[in-house]
Amino acid sequence: MISFDVRFIKIVSDDTGHEHRACQATFKVNATSLCAAAQQAESDFCKQKSVRDWTVFADVIELRTPTALPPAWAG
């Protein structure tokens, strides 16, 4: 399994109309793929916020993978 850092971001505008990125939650997820990590993080976020749809609180999900993968993953 690979460890992924996941952030849920809300885009908000200030009083001058400029957009800023506000982090709503962060998770560390262990998964076999990027897709699986996103699905697990979405589920965790919804449980934490007691909602069915994470887009109520966030606009974007950011997933960061490890910078160096072991040789078996290098393909």
Token representation of residue 36: 């699986």
- Give residue-wise pLDDT tens across range 23-74: 999 989 999 998 999 999 999 999 999 999 999 999 999 998 866 555 555 5
List, in order of start, the domains of the chain with CATH numbers.
Answer: 2-67 (3.10.20)
Q: How far apart are CA 30 and CA 17, in angstroms?
A: 38
Question: CB–CB of 62/9 below 8 Å?
Answer: yes
CA-based end-to-end distance of the chain? 16
Q: What is the pTM for the complete model shown?
A: 0.79
The conformation of residue 41, written as its DSSP 8-state character, comes to H
Q: How far apart are CA 34 and CA 53, in angstroms?
A: 20
